[in-house]
Chain A
Amino acid sequence: MENEKRSHICLLDLPESHLDCVLKHLSPQELCIMSEACSVLRKRCSGDDLWEEHIKRKWGPVIGEVVYNEWKWHIASAKEDNTLRIYQNGSLGTFSGDWPFLSLGSYLDDSEMLRGSLSNYFMKSLYFSVESGKFWFPAQIYRANRFLCCHHGLLSYDSETDSFQARKQSGGWELIGKSIGWDKVRATPVETPPNALHVSHLSNLKPGDHIEIQFRTSRQTFYDWWHATIEHLETCNEHGNHCGCDQSEVVVVEFKQYSPVVSQMRRLVLTKNNYQEHDDGMGRLFGGIRKIHSQQQIDTWKSLFAQPYLRTYHNLLEFDPSLFISAT
């Protein structure tokens, strides 16, 4: 009898750290089933570490710190249960109607599931809110209509097609696309809000660097991000290790998406010191700069530039530069 008892598998007798190591091998669905077995397992199977790992594995390229910060707000709202702050559907404002919030950072379509104990489990509740498509989270979408750029927007995941819907702020929050693939979206790379100037250090930039620069045409709208490269000064003859461009007080930014024919649009000269938003006098406002360190991100831009619709547009421009200027 004694022996029989000892040979039992006693899962709950395992120290917590070991149990967690076992549970790491389970899928989200398997964790849910385990968590229904008893109250101890419910707690162990709902831990943030386990679920953050699943979020990273599934949505790592689109979900990061910026989304976590938004989710904190929704969790706090659900816990406060403050009916003044929570709209009927549990979110701040709506996509249409009276509250086309410029500062709407994210949107929860239905907070009903947060009313129970799930709100105690930060990552797990985030996982299910994203999986169900009910949470519109901040991210960025590569788009090429007139220009190739990266927009700020809100994404909703569609688990059936493994793709996204996106909304963009432009007065209201218009739906700009459905079935958007993974190659067209990314997590917001900086924590700077989309309407704020990204603080940047231009003195670190040198020829050959790939950068992204904030761009907008009106101070009332969000910034987009444009890809550009840092080039040598026009006065610079040396293109090797002895080039003095990085010592200069100015930095030359070049947008490859403009044809060389429109050189006044293609090149931008910025003063390094005390850099603020730059108005180029042609209706273009340039904000902060972030240097791209990841080769993967550089390759993404390159592959987007290589796409057929953009090449067609470029060819057009080479024949009629005025078309491009009027397009801004």
Chain B
Amino acid sequence: MSSSVEAITVLSSDGDEFKITVSAAKLSKPLNWMLEDVCFSDDCDEVPTIEVNSKTLVKVIEYCEKHAPRANSGASDSDAEELKKWDIEFMKMDVKDILFHILMAANYLHMEGLYDLACQTAADLMKGMTVSQIRKIFHIKNDFSSEEQEQLRRQHPGCSFD
């Protein structure tokens, strides 16, 4: 691999171009493979496509760039603590709308850390909610008959469902 290459260009599934640094791409095996292909290929003009939409890919690349220094060189505990705080903020932003897209992208790109973070964030959205709030947040239609609902309440002693 040529050491002069510091960043590569990739296409999102919507056809937009994005730049990702070599060190950041190393966080994902599939991205890393693409990178090697690009660098070794004679036809360097070819831009690989990542099957992730633009809105999601921006976030994924942002995550990679932030985590790359630590993943590549190791880091102190205070750095790890700082990174944890950053993760929480990263997931707090207007990202909610694309949370599940990020989760799927992290899976597709073999990014364990981001995948776990997305799962935890999704679960946190469910915590402390009532059944009706859950239905509202996640756009779920109640398909139980009233008998079934009554039976469920009996089965779950100690749970509040209001």
Contacts and interface: CB of A to CB of B under 8 A. Distances in A.
Contact of B130 (A10, A21, A33): A33
B156 interface: yes
Given A36-B149, A38-B142, A29 B135 contact: no
A117 interface: yes
B119 A25 contact: yes
A9 B99 contact: yes
Contacts of A116: 151, 154-155
Contact of A26 (B115, B126, B131): B126
B123 A38 contact: no
Given A12-B138, A37-B142, A7 B98 contact: yes
B99 A41 contact: no
Interface in A1-52: 7-14, 18, 21-26, 29-30, 32-39, 41-42
A32 B157 CA distance: 9
Contacts of B103: 14, 18, 22
B122 interface: yes
Contact of B100 (A13, A29, A32, A128): A13
The SS class assigned to the B binding surface is helix
Contacts of B161: 33, 36
Contacts of B131: 33, 36-37
Given A25-B120, A39-B144, A118-B155, A10 B129 contact: no
B1 to A, nearest CB: 33
A132 interface: yes
A308 B17 CA distance: 74
Contacts of B159: 29, 32-33
B85 interface: no
A14 B126 contact: no
Contact of A8 (B127, B129, B139, B142): B139
B60 to A, nearest CB: 16
A21 to B, nearest CB: 5
A9 B152 contact: no
Given A14-B103, A23-B123, A33-B126, 6 more contacts: A7-B97, A18-B103, A24-B119, A32-B159, A36-B149, A42-B152
7 contacts: A18-B104, A33-B131, A34-B134, A36-B144, A39-B144, A117-B155, A128-B157
Interface of B: 96-100, 103-104, 107, 115, 119-120, 122-124, 126-127, 129-131, 134-135, 137-144, 149, 151-161
